[in-house]
Structure 1
Amino acid sequence: MQPKTWMAAAGLAALTGCAPMDEASGPTGEGSCGADGYGSLVGAQLAAVTMPADLNARIIGPDTMVTQDYQPGRLNIVVDEDGYITRVYCG
């Protein structure tokens, strides 16, 4: 391979890493897991709420340890020490 061809190929390969990310691949808004539809639950007691069986959700209590991984399709439901929902968000 000629030096000019080799350098051009190397430069092209390096530039492919500079391509912009697809918008869909990054974290999205609160609607990506349906949190917007569950916002009315804030203030309700968790025990009195009925949710779909196939809902990808985790309940986060006051002393609950949670992972830091971001899953846009997961609904997080935060409850206080009395069992009342204080926050609903994706992640």
Structure 2
Amino acid sequence: MSWKLVPTGLVLSMAVLAGCSSTSQPSGDSAQSPAAIDSGHSRCDAAAAQFAVGKPASPALLEQARTKAGAQTARALGPNDMITLEYRSDRLNLNTDQAGSVNRVNCG
């Protein structure tokens, strides 16, 4: 190895390590997560939307449940629907049965 390349390799390795470093969060009494602060919404509260269980799923019911749960987004899921596996604490899910009635309310 040429000794002329050592400083270049050292600079490149330092640049890579600097990219992996984390920034510190500002300390404070705020109980909100950074995602909640950025979006202006807090986590979803599925208990507040339990009133929807047993009712037929509709866009109006979905919006009403989303608002009461404090969720940023909401979706109605059928029993055979394919869903993504990412968890979003600000999303409300209304799970329905074959007849289209809501049988479960959860966040994620």
Tell me which interval the TM-score lies in, with the shorter structure as reference length.
Answer: 0.5 to 0.7
Name the % identity: 33
If asked which structure has higher relative contact order (CA below 8 Å, sep 6+), I would say: 1
The ranges of structure 1 where at least 4 consecutive aligned residues each deviate by more than 4 angstroms after the TM superposition are 52-55
What is the aligned partner in structure 2 of residue 71 from structure 1? Answer: 88
Q: What stretches of structure 2 of length at least 5 have no aligned partner?
A: 1-30, 34-41
Change (3 A) 1:48 1:32: closer
TM-score (norm 1): 0.58
Cα shift readout 1:45-89 (whole Å, capped 9, x = no counterpart): 113853258751111101100011000000011011101000010
Q: Distance in 2 between matches of 1:72 and 1:48?
A: 21
The RMSD of aligned alpha carbons is 3.1
Pairing 1:45–2:56 present:
yes
What is the aligned partner in structure 1 of residue 74 from structure 2? Answer: 57
Change (3 A) 1:48 1:73: closer
TM-score (norm 2): 0.50
What is the aligned partner in structure 2 of residue 81 from structure 1? Answer: 98
Change (3 A) 1:70 1:24: farther
Aligned residue pairs total 66
